[in-house]
Amino acid sequence: MFEFFLVFVLAMLFMGIVRRYADKIGLVDEPNERSSHTLDTPSGAGIGFSLAIFSIIPLFYIDVFSDYTLIFFAIFLVFVIGVLDDIHDASPKTKFVILILSTIFLIFDNFIIDYVGVYFGQQIYLGVFAAPFTIFAVVAFTNALNLIDGLDGLAGSVGIVIFMSFFIIGYQNDDLILMVISGSFISGLIAFLIHNWYPASIFMGDSGSLVLGFVIALLAIRSLLYIPAISILFIAAIPILDTTIVVVRRKLNGKGVFTADKCHLHHIFYRFFSNDTKKTVLFFVVMQAAYSLTGLQFNKYHDDGLLLILFLLNVIMVYLFTDAMIRRQKSNCSQKRS
């Protein structure tokens, strides 16, 4: 476990350096109408904890690093586009292409979703659709994680809970790559939260949130060796719920799917908790922990159909509950575009 402590120390050091020179290299987040902060704040903490993690892993686990070279190269590509986006605002098209390319590298290293479980007695294999579905799932989740990075401490805290689930799966099944990557990110994110807990002195930036989402997605694929695919919907529930509900709400209200607004789950509950960031983040941490613990139990079931129905019912319940909250808050999230 000494290596994880070193990740923590290096992450603290590197993030301190990023904070110090953020203004000089263009890593400053200026507030806008969708921001929860009101002051210019250094960004790019993801540079700090990512560099720490991927400095230590080859040092202590050279076998893991050499056995999964394509995986780490894919993560590196995502990291680079995240850094470029933090500094120069990379175009959505460029980020999209890089994420697809990075996922293709995962597929080449046999990180692919080709079996999704047993539903009402029928085993579902994806066959020729495995690669396109994997690309869709990884790119979609990477962006979903990016979208919850809207409150101080939120993405980092939820990320820690999710990585803890994958660490447990790795420990139970003696899977070194799950334990090494999850443990490293937990350490890096703890260091990050020291800087990012409300009021934040530095933000994660896309260099962090894109890497987090991508790494969680690849660990989820790895975990399919040991748990049903349906479990992943619960283990990584908050980003999945948020993006699903936001997309459905925008479509039902006649808005574009990519329309920027303040109608994500964390925005709604932030208003519900009277703009109290700490209460909102703690609420989502507890929620994610409950979902994750539920998902970790699903390997005891033999048919995933009922569990899928349970998740879909949960999506509907959260949608209806938050819709009622929006109306009570008199927000424009439910207003149709004229």
Q: What is the pLDDT of residues 96-112, one digit of tens each?
A: 999 999 999 999 999 99
199 prior amide bond cis, ω within 30: yes
Number of domains in the chain: 1
pLDDT at 28: 87
Q: What is the 3-state secondary structure (H, E, C) of the chain?
A: CHHHHHHHHHHHHHHHHHHHHHHHHCCEECCCCCCCCCCCEECCHHHHHHHHHHHHHHHHCHHHHHHCHHHHHHHHHHHHHHHHHHHHCCCHHHHHHHHHHHHHHHHHCCCCCCEEEEECCEEEECHHHHHHHHHHHHHHHHHHHHHCCCCCCHHHHHHHHHHHHHHHHHHHCCCHHHHHHHHHHHHHHHHHHHHHCCCCCCCCCHHHHHHHHHHHHHHHHHHCCCCCHHHHHHHCHHHHHHHHHHHHHHHHCCCCCCCCCCCCHHHHHHHHCCCCHHHHHHHHHHHHHHHHHHHHCHHHCCCCHHHHHHHHHHHHHHHHHHHHHHHHHCCHHHCCCC
Output the pLDDT for position 121. Answer: 86
Cα–Cα distance measured from residue 191 to residue 175, given in angstroms and rounded to the nearest whole number: 25
pLDDT value at residue 337: 42
pTM over 0.85: yes
Domain assignment of residue 228, given as a range: 2-334
Give Cα separations from 5 to 10, 180, 191 (angstroms): 9, 12, 10
Q: Which is nearest to 158 in space by CA: 172, 179, 141, 139?
A: 141
In degrees, rounded to 5, the angle at the alpha carbon of residue 217 between the alpha carbons of residues 212 and 221 is: 145
Mean pLDDT by 10 residues, the chain (338 residues): 94 94 85 62 93 94 89 96 91 95 97 93 94 98 94 96 98 96 97 94 93 98 95 96 94 84 92 94 98 85 83 96 89 56
Buried-state track 165-189, b at ≥16 Cβ within 10 A, e below 16: bbbbbbeeeebebbbbbbbbbbbbb
- Position 317 scores a pLDDT of 96
Task: Say what the pLDDT of residue 192 is.
Answer: 97
